[in-house]
Amino acid sequence: MQSLLTKKHRQMNDDNLIPLINIVFLMLIFFLVAGHITARDHALFTAPESSQQTKLQESDVTILLAADESLWINNQRVIGDLAFHLRALHLPPQARVILKVDATHKASVLDPLLAALQSLGVQRLKLVTVAQKS
């Protein structure tokens, strides 16, 4: 009798879990569908807001100038001459270069980046932005 009661009690507990599991499943589906998993940047950076609706395309090189002014090439911390590090990558002129620059930086921080890329013959590059908040 005792074991029967315990079993019944356990079954009842499991039944109580069903609404919980429903909600957890719904949350799981939401994160699966709405989110996307990408490699995280190694440093904090706030992208400038833009009204352009062009989706970010694949790139060969990603240059990140983070909020703390640290410089990263393909998620590797770089110290010293940017042009030297870029030359080591042996980029062809048609290389797709993506620039991630913190929105709060002075525009003059782009100068050495642009100069280094020009010295390699890379003319067109993409600046990463986010959708403008309405």
Partner 1 sequence: VLEYRAKPLRISLTPLIDVVFILLLFFMLASTFYQWQQMTLSSVAKGKPAISEKFPKQIFVQGGNVVRHNGVVYTLEDAAFNSLLNQFFHEQVILLVTAETPATVQDVVAVMDSIIAAGIENVSLTRSFDER
CB 71 within 8 A of CB 104: no
Q: Which helix (H) or strand (E) holds 90?
A: none
The angle formed by the CA atoms of residues 112, 47 and 43, to the nearest 5 degrees, is: 75
Residue 2 CB, nearest distance to partner 1 (Å)?
A: 19
Q: Is 134 in the site for partner 1 (CB under 8 A)?
A: no
By CB under 8 A, which span of 66-74, 77-85, 86-94, 100-108 interacts with partner 1?
100-108
Residue 42 CB, nearest distance to partner 1 (Å)?
A: 14
Query: In sequence order, which residues have a C-beta less than 8 Å from that of residue 104 and are 6 or more positions away?
Result: 46, 67
Q: Is 103 in the site for partner 1 (CB under 8 A)?
A: yes
Binding residue count for partner 1, defined by CB under 8 A: 55
Q: Which helix (H) or strand (E) holds 9?
A: helix 2-34
Using CB under 8 A as the binding rule, the residues of this chain from 51 to 70 that contact partner 1 are 51-57
Using CB under 8 A, which of 27, 80, 90, 91 touches partner 1?
27
CA 115 to chain centre: 25
Q: Is 5 in the site for partner 1 (CB under 8 A)?
A: no
